[in-house]
Amino acid sequence: MEDLTLYLVNWLKDKISNAGAKGGVLGISGGIDSAVVAALMKRAYPDGTLGVIMPCHSNPKDIEYGHLLTNALDLEFVETDLSPVFDTMLVSLMTKNENNIAIANIKPRLRMTTLYYYASLKNYLVIGTGNRSEILTGYYTKYGDGGVDMEPIGGLYKCQVYQLAKHLNIPEAIIQRAPSAGLWEHQTDEEEMGISYRELDKYLCKQDTSERVVDIADKLIAKSKHKREMPPIPEKEFPVTF
């Protein structure tokens, strides 16, 4: 785990430095992924890391655990309540809450906009918190939490993130929390996906698993293929005239 930590810290330094940036900004959700990335960034840029807590009609526990992390890491942070902006969006869209996912996805897209605002102010890059298990199955919002400049733990399965969290001395309360994107009340990743991260990681690592897990995972991967690709452009070229 220490070799992995050093590798990722140096990777962050190289990528951010080569981009001509001075540090990184990331969202602090109160969950394990953002906690691990924050700890890595704090090592890479002790004075160049900004955490942003962005409640949006969120569970108060998300904010509580976010502060638990910033205190544990002595991390510079700001708190920006996006609830009024979200409410204004719903009024403007004249929605009647007919599509829970469509409405819920507004939240991570507002957070993405907020992170890029702070990044622009400080000449930072936006640091993503997606892990390999989520990226491969598309368990993130396109142009929301997927709208970032880099994904330092994007090569790690969820099980590896847990192992790294323990090595980085992430508060145990955060490690033990049920993973959640915080999109709606009582929402959890595993309930929404229909399988546990342990089941998913075993499948992704090509270990024996049940037909149920294979079926769910294959459907998630196929459905989210567009998220892992650049927007398509027609291949046929036509003559240019001036």
Tell me the fold of 2-228: Rossmann fold (3.40.50)
Res. 157: pLDDT tops 80: yes
Tokens of 67: 């502060």
Pairing mode, strands 124-126 and 77-79: unpaired
d(C-alpha 167, C-alpha 189), whole Å: 24
Helix axes 32-44, 2-18, angle to 10 degrees: 70
Tokens of 187: 């929402």
Pairing mode, strands 124-126 and 23-27: parallel
Res. 19: pLDDT tops 90: yes
d(C-alpha 5, C-alpha 164), whole Å: 8
Q: What is the average pLDDT across 67-72?
A: 97
Q: What is the pTM of this model?
A: 0.91
Q: What is the average pLDDT across 25-35?
A: 96
Phi, psi torsion values for 129, nearest 5 degrees: -125, 20
**What single-letter amino acid sits at 116?**
Y
Cβ pair 158, 200 in contact under 8 A = yes
Helix (H, G, I), strand (E, B) or coil at 135: helix
Could you give the dihedral angle defined by the CA atoms of residues 121, 124, 126 and 128, in that order, rounded to the nearest 10 degrees? -150
* pLDDT per residue as tens digits for the range 171-203: 999 999 887 666 656 667 677 788 889 999 999
d(C-alpha 114, C-alpha 112), whole Å: 5
Could you give the dihedral angle defined by the CA atoms of residues 136, 139, 141 and 142, in that order, rounded to the nearest 10 degrees? 20
> Could you tell me which residue, 91 or 73, shows the higher pLDDT?
73
Buried b / exposed e over 59-78, threshold 16 CB at 10 Å, is: beebbebbebbbebbebebe
Residue in the block written with tokens 């140096």:
10
Res. 136: pLDDT tops 70: yes
Tokens of 158: 């969820």
d(C-alpha 113, C-alpha 91), whole Å: 19
Map out the domains of the chain as residue ranges: 2-228
Rounded to the nearest integer, the mean pLDDT of the chain is 93
